[in-house]
């Protein structure tokens, strides 16, 4: 399974401290195995939310190509969905 990061997601990972960055990269690794608190967003066909403590990762999943595209990474209070 391949994971692609959109510009906002990469910028957020670059902006956080090293400990948080490692935590989020571990979460992306779990996401690639489809593990954890993953919920499809209501009103969407292909958009999902992955919750890690107070962080949220919004992503789309292209089933045919087995590609996860991370749209946004942010804290619970700042995520826009």
Instruction: Please write the tens of the pLDDT for every residue from 19-63.
Output: 999 999 999 999 988 889 999 999 988 899 999 989 999 999 887
Whether 3 contacts 70, CB under 8 Å: yes
pLDDT attached to residue 28: 93
CA 71 from chain centre, in angstroms, equals 7
Whether 57 contacts 31, CB under 8 Å: yes
The token pair at 56 is 């949220």
3-class SS at 74? strand
- Domains contained in the chain, CATH given: 2-75 (3.30.2310.20)
pLDDT attached to residue 39: 94
pTM reported for the whole predicted model = 0.88
Phi/psi of residue 11, each to 5°? -65, -40
């Amino acid at each position: 399974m391949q994971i692609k990061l959109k510009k906002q997601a990469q910028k957020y990972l670059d902006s956080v401290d090293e400990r948080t960055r490692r935590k989020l990269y571990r979460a992306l690794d779990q996401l690639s195995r489809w593990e954890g608190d993953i919920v499809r967003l209501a009103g969407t066909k292909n958009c999902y939310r992955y919750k890690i403590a107070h962080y949220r990762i919004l992503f789309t999943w292209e089933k045919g190509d087995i590609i996860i595209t991370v749209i946004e990474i942010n804290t619970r209070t700042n995520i826009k969905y």
